[in-house]
């Protein structure tokens, strides 16, 4: 029997690799001769680099400026001429010192530094996972780190962070274009929001990053100025492009300044992992994430895995910390059965703390069920 174990992380508990390993331990205890393939996945947010490394990419580290300038050691992964980087590992919310939110000051500068380091390895395709951003700077910091000139009316470089964009008067992208010459950028993101307005980066995601109503309005106006200044330089306007609002507008910065293309996160990651080849002759696929709920059905990792497995007629089951969907809804997404850790340990805190042990037990139960 060949089983592909392809979960996403259980946020706040175990990495995707940790989840896969625990399930595999349980499976092997009942099915010692089964061929178990571990293929932890991600949907483009945090864990994207780890998924690439688990699939055979080589991990590198680079010291960059964190979301408010503090030094951060950020990972990225390289395989031949392809590199994978993730915003969350360079300038994500989890990296804010002391957890102090900084909606006006936080920047994507560190992401640009990681991209630059990936280019320095000789990579010609850069895959950027967006998600978990601490900033709403429209990707301006990322472009500045790659050499963009962002100047105010007096010709002085503006500061970092979304708030500083209110002063921008001119942009020069020549250095960015030279740095990226011959390279392409692909952005993994499931967000379809535009840059501005009631569905834009500031209005929808700003409050999660600590922005008050007045700061949301100021950030939206600053992002509008950023788009106004960039449009004549580019000869195009990306503010209304679906996905421009991703990661505090970093999607916009990637589209406009890096000529990036945006792709659904899980589809791009599965392609990187050569998931089709791994699942082609499998008998069963196990996927999952911390909470299987309505959001999971909107392009998250388990559904992406299920859709990919369905192309090969391989049945898919899911494991979750909490299961908040009936099996009928999961069935519509191609998932035929599901196990929840909460059925074994209803206490949420204990379930999170003991996820490794519980996942091993779930692995044993799945193996007994399908043996």
Distance CA 206, CA 264 (A): 22
DSSP 202-271: IIIIGGGGT--HHHHHHHHHHHHHHHHHHHHHHTS--TTSTTTTHHHHHHHHHHHHH--EEE-HHHHHHH
Per-10-residue mean pLDDT of the chain, 371 residues long, equals 95 92 97 95 88 92 97 96 96 94 97 98 95 94 98 96 97 96 92 94 95 98 97 95 95 96 89 91 95 81 92 95 91 93 94 96 95 81
pLDDT for position 129: 93
Distances in Å between the alpha carbon of 335 and those of 6, 54, 168, 273, 343? 13, 24, 49, 21, 18
Nearest to 106 by CA among 220, 246, 206, 187: 206
Helix (H) or strand (E) holding 188: strand 184-188
Cβ–Cβ contacts within 10 Å for residue 312, how many? 14
Residue 7: φ, ψ to 5°: -90, 160
Distance CA 27, CA 284 (A): 12
Nearest to 77 by CA among 93, 97, 54, 100: 54
Nearest to 118 by CA among 234, 230, 9, 258: 258
Q: Going from the N-terminus, what domains does the chain have, and what CATH number goes with each?
A: 2-41+274-370 (3.40.50.10350), 48-265 (3.90.1510.10)
DSSP 270-321: HHHTTHHHHHTT-SEEEEEEEEESGGGGTT-HHHHHHHHHHTTT--EEEEEE
72: Cα separation from own chain's centroid: 18
pLDDT for position 46: 84
Cβ–Cβ contacts within 10 Å for residue 184, how many? 13
Distance CA 43, CA 289 (A): 11
Residue 292: φ, ψ to 5°: -95, 110
Distance CA 94, CA 206 (A): 15
Q: Which residues make Cβ contacts (< 8 Å) with residue 346, sequence separation at least 6?
A: none
Nearest to 289 by CA among 353, 349, 348, 359: 359
Nearest to 120 by CA among 59, 167, 180: 180
Task: Name residue 38's beta-bridge partners.
Answer: 5
Q: Which residues make Cβ contacts (< 8 Å) with residue 93, sequence separation at least 6?
A: 67, 101, 132, 133, 134, 208, 209
Distances in Å between the alpha carbon of 41 and those of 226, 249, 333? 34, 25, 18
Q: What's the predicted TM-score (pTM) here?
A: 0.89
Structure tokens at 285: 């696929």
Contact between residue 285 and residue 57 where contact means Cβ atoms under 8 Å apart = no
Structure tokens at 79: 């395989």
């Amino acid at each position: 029997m060949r089983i592909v174990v392809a979960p996403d992380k259980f946020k706040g508990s175990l990495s995707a690799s940790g989840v896969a390993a625990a399930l595999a331990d349980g499976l092997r205890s009942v099915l010692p001769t089964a061929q178990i393939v571990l293929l932890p996945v991600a949907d483009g947010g945090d864990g994207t680099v780890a998924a690439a490394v688990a699939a055979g990419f080589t991990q590198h580290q680079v010291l960059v400026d964190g979301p408010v300038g503090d030094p951060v050691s950020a990972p990225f992964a390289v395989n031949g001429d392809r590199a994978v980087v993730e915003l969350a590992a360079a300038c994500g919310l989890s990296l804010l010192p002391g957890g102090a939110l900084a909606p006006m000051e936080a920047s994507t500068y560190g992401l640009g530094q990681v991209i630059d380091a990936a280019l320095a390895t000789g990579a010609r395709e850069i895959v950027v996972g967006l998600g978990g951003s601490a900033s709403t700077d429209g990707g301006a910091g990322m472009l500045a780190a790659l050499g963009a000139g962002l100047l105010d009316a007096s010709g002085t470089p503006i500061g970092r962070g979304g708030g500083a964009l209110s002063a921008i008067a001119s942009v020069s992208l020549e250095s960015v274009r030279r740095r990226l010459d011959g390279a392409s950028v692909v952005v993994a993101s499931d967000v379809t929001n535009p840059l501005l307005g009631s569905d834009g980066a500031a209005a929808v995601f700003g409050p999660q990053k600590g922005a008050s109503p007045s700061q949301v309005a100021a950030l939206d106006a600053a992002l509008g100025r950023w788009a106004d200044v960039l449009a004549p330089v580019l000869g195009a306007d990306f503010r209304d492009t679906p996905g421009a609002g991703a990661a505090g507008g970093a999607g916009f910065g990637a589209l406009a300044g890096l000529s990036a293309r945006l792709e659904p996160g899980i589809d791009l990651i599965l392609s990187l992992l050569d998931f089709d080849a791994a699942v082609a002759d499998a008998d069963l696929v196990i996927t999952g994430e911390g909470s299987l709920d309505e959001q999971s059905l909107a392009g998250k990792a388990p559904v992406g895995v299920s859709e990919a497995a369905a192309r090969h007629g391989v049945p898919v089951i899911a494991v979750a910390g909490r299961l908040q969907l009936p099996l009928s809804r999961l069935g519509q997404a191609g998932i035929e059965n599901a196990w929840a850790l909460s059925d074994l340990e209803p206490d949420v805190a204990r379930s999170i703390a003991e996820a490794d042990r519980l996942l091993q037990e779930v692995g044993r139960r799945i193996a007994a069920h399908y043996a």
